[in-house]
Amino acid sequence: MKKASLCFVFAILSCGFAFGQAQYQVLYKFDTNQPGLDGFIPSGPVMFDSSGNMYGTTQSGGMYGRGAIFELSPSGTGWTETLLYSFCPGGVPCPDGEVPESGVIMDATGNLYGTTPFGGGFCGGNERTCGTVFELSPPSLPGGNWTQTVLAVGCNPSGGLVSDQVGNLYGTLGCRQGYVFELSPPTKEGQPWIPTALYVFCPFASRCSDGKGPVGGVIFDNAGNLYGATQEGGHANKGVVYEISPTAEGGQWTEKVLASATRNIGYDPLAGLTFDDAGNLYGTLGFGGAHGDGAAFKLAHTIGGNWTGTVVPLTVGNQPESSLLVEGGVVYGTTDVGGTGRGTIFQITGQTQTALYVFCSLPNCADGANPQGPLILQDGNFYGVTTSGGLGFGVVYEITP
């Protein structure tokens, strides 16, 4: 196994603080219809199809209380929610999965793919040690039911999925020391999907200098390498940023540690990574740092193929739990708490941090609270979810910087 380690270069930027003039609005409040039946506690990113419909997941609620997949469609009076699938119709051990928390992705024919960290059957005598990778297929006729298929039963899939050009799915499993996996479509109709463990973390179960407990899934670069973060392992056992690369001979991939977190600069990365157009990596550290509120970081290539890091301790919120969005050289993100105590949307431009929005600014947090899903960009606006607020069960929101 190829290993390398590079600690972050700790650069505290003198960050100004200002409230932005962003336009914020709530698009949908969960529990608007029948109590809980439209889902509640949304998390993970939302996504849009080519017609402007939005899709996402809720950790709880739905018809059976174990989570749901929803669609929001624009209408003349706002947005209309349709519940596409409710998990666990047959009861525990929820063979179809439960508590979807990482959003979904869509293929070219409109199928949705995602993960659940629990369900899938009894594993080791406990359904909570399982988890699933699933496909949700649209109906053949308008108004019909969507069809859910479990593609694989894993071990606590942590984070969402990415796909390559031929339809293979990639993600991370959080059990034991953790895995990066590939799930390949069957070569013949009716056969099961084919799982492959691309990399197993901490193979000797000691020290775990290569990382332990991957979170937030993985992302691709243009050369086909995968990148992600772990919550534990590394020099200080506070998490690492890693790259895994395919070998010429095939089989298990090789890993390289790009950076190790520490308590002083920030630790416990809780989300996935993001590339900018220049190939730099961005991510968040949930805790620690100069102010104890977590941090955002950037990793850039240096001569010789190494990476150097810049860390920005957060001052406009704390405990970032979602990946960052980079657009036009500006970094955008969310914090789960801070501001009024219920989270913020922030941007970092050069050396200045700006709170674009502070949640729970309205009585009873009618505007939402605790944003745990990342921002996505669509037609110049940002979209995201909060796990609470609104009517008490979370909201989908839009913000225009």
The mean-pLDDT minimum among 63-67, 290-294, 360-364 falls in 290-294
Question: Is the pLDDT at 333 greater than 70, yes or no?
Answer: yes
CATH class given for the domain over 16-400: mainly beta
Considering the chain, what percentage of its residues have pLDDT values greater than 90? Answer: 76
| Band of residue 305 on the pLDDT scale cut at 50, 70, 90 | confident
pLDDT class for 176, splitting at 50, 70, 90?
confident
What's the pLDDT score for residue 189? 86
Q: In the predicted model, is pLDDT for residue 219 greater than 70?
A: yes
Q: Count how many Cα atoms sit within 13 Å of the Cα of residue 80 in the half-sphere of its side chain.
A: 6
**pLDDT band at residue 19 using 50, 70 and 90 as cut-offs:** very low
Alpha helices in 173-312 (DSSP H): none
Residue 16 has pLDDT above 70, yes or no: no
Q: What is the DSSP letter of 361?
A: -
- Reported as a pLDDT band with limits 50, 70 and 90, residue 340 is confident
- From the number of C-beta atoms within 10 Å of its C-beta (0-12, 13-18, 19+), residue 355 rates as buried
- Verify cis geometry, omega within 30 degrees of 0, for the bond prior to 142: no
C-alpha distances in angstroms, 151 versus 113, 130, 179, 188, 192? 9, 13, 17, 14, 7
Residues 356-369 have a mean pLDDT of 96
Lowest mean pLDDT among 250-264, 268-282, 357-371, 373-387: 250-264
Q: What is the DSSP string of 93-154?
A: T-TT-B---S--EE-TTS-EEEEESB-SS-BTTBGGG--EEEEEEPPSSTT---EEEEEEE-
Report pLDDT digits (tens) over 127-172: 666 899 999 999 999 889 999 999 999 889 989 999 999 999 999 9
Q: Is the pLDDT of residue 288 over 90?
A: yes
Q: What would the mean pLDDT of 1-16 be, rounded to a whole number?
A: 35
Full-model pTM: 0.93
Rounded to whole angstroms, the Cα distance separating 129 from 399 reads 37
Could you tell me which residues are beta bridge partners of residue 69?
A: 57, 85
